[in-house]
């Protein structure tokens, strides 16, 4: 046992040393661009795109069997922050132009709009509180939740309420649109303003109440390949697929409009 001891010590020492060397090697590695169109890509998508992009991903890999796509979904504002901190995004699909514009150091080519979305009031199935319009959101017996002004849906909600002249005090400012949907679906909140597509995605667990066209906001979704992408060719092919008739048909099924 005592004979084996020094060797084990050196083994551990080697491991520790290897870790340190390995870590420094990672940080100094040169950025290499992979032009293979089948290179695995990571798509950063606004959380309202979760369902539609899941299906688009399946259709895309059916069309290009050697391709590999992974998705990372979250609030557009959160995704921009992650990409700017070095998260390996090959495609960024944002719920608003402002988040796209904050991307550093920009994109390969100008971002292209690929979908639109309208807003709806989300309520519980059967609409137990009898919410018929924006004015009901200000009622004292209605628990209304919104999103933080940093998040696109939070900003859109402010715009809609301002346009309708409604002053409603939200009980919570969620970190993303799914947070609003969850609070209503779980029954903790009575109403929130979300995208039409979110109401559709919630299925039988929620109901949508229309917001009149003149005060409604049409959100336009831009898509682009971040300049830092290491697989720009594969990423560009995915973007083209999203904008193709096949991609647009899937988006339409999830309630998105054409740009």
C-alpha 238/C-alpha 57 separation (Å) is 9
Residue 131 is a binding residue for another protein (CB under 8 A)? no
From 56-64, 108-116, 142-150, 193-201, give the range in contact with another protein by CB under 8 A: 142-150
Residue 163 is a binding residue for another protein (CB under 8 A)? no
**Exactly one of 174, 181, 207, 241 binds another protein (CB under 8 A); which one?**
174
Do strands 119-123 and 191-195 pair parallel, antiparallel, or not at all (unpaired)? antiparallel
C-alpha 38/C-alpha 40 separation (Å) is 6
CB of 12 to another protein, least distance (A): 6
Question: Counting every residue, how long is the chain?
Answer: 259
Residue 164 is a binding residue for another protein (CB under 8 A)? no
C-alpha 175/C-alpha 197 separation (Å) is 18
C-alpha 151/C-alpha 148 separation (Å) is 6
Per the structure block, which two tokens stand in for 116? 């639109």
Residue 87 is a binding residue for another protein (CB under 8 A)? no
Residue 62 is a binding residue for another protein (CB under 8 A)? no
CB of 5 to another protein, least distance (A): 8
**Exactly one of 188, 210, 218, 252 binds another protein (CB under 8 A); which one?**
188
Query: Quick check: 245 and 59 in contact, CB under 8 A?
Result: no
> DSSP label at 116?
E
Residue 249 is a binding residue for another protein (CB under 8 A)? no
Per the structure block, which two tokens stand in for 244? 């193709």
Helix H or strand E segment including 163: helix 152-164
Q: Which CB, 24 or 58, lies closer to another protein?
A: 24
Residue 197 is a binding residue for another protein (CB under 8 A)? no
**What does the binding site for another protein look like in residue numbers (CB under 8 A)?**
1-2, 5, 9, 12-13, 16, 19-20, 75, 77-78, 80-81, 84-85, 143, 145, 148, 150-151, 170-175, 179, 183, 186-188
């Amino acid at each position: 046992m005592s004979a084996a001891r020094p060797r084990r010590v050196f083994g551990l020492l080697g491991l520790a040393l290897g870790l340190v060397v390995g870590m420094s090697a990672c940080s100094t590695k040169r950025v290499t661009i992979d032009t293979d169109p089948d290179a695995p890509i990571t798509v950063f998508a606004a959380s309202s795109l979760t369902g539609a992009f899941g299906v688009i991903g399946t259709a895309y890999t059916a069309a290009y069997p050697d391709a590999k796509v992974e998705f990372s979904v979250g609030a557009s504002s959160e995704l921009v922050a992650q990409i700017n901190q070095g998260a390996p995004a090959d495609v960024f699909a944002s719920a608003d132009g402002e988040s796209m514009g904050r991307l550093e150091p920009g994109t390969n080519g100008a971002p292209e709009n690929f979908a639109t979305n309208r807003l709806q009031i989300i309520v519980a199935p059967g609409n137990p509180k009898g919410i018929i319009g924006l004015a009901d959101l200000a009622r004292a017996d209605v628990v209304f939740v919104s999103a933080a002004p940093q998040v696109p849906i939070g900003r859109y909600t402010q715009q809609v309420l301002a346009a309708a002249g409604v002053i409603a005090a939200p009980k919570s400012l969620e970190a993303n649109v799914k947070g609003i949907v969850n609070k209503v679906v779980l029954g903790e909140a009575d109403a929130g303003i979300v995208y039409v597509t979110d109401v559709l995605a919630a299925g039988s667990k929620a109901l949508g109440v229309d917001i009149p066209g003149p005060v409604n906001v049409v959100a336009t979704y831009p898509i682009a390949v971040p300049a830092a992408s290491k697989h720009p060719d594969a990423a560009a092919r995915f973007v083209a697929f999203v904008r193709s008739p096949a991609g647009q048909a899937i988006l339409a099924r999830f309630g998105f409009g054409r740009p």
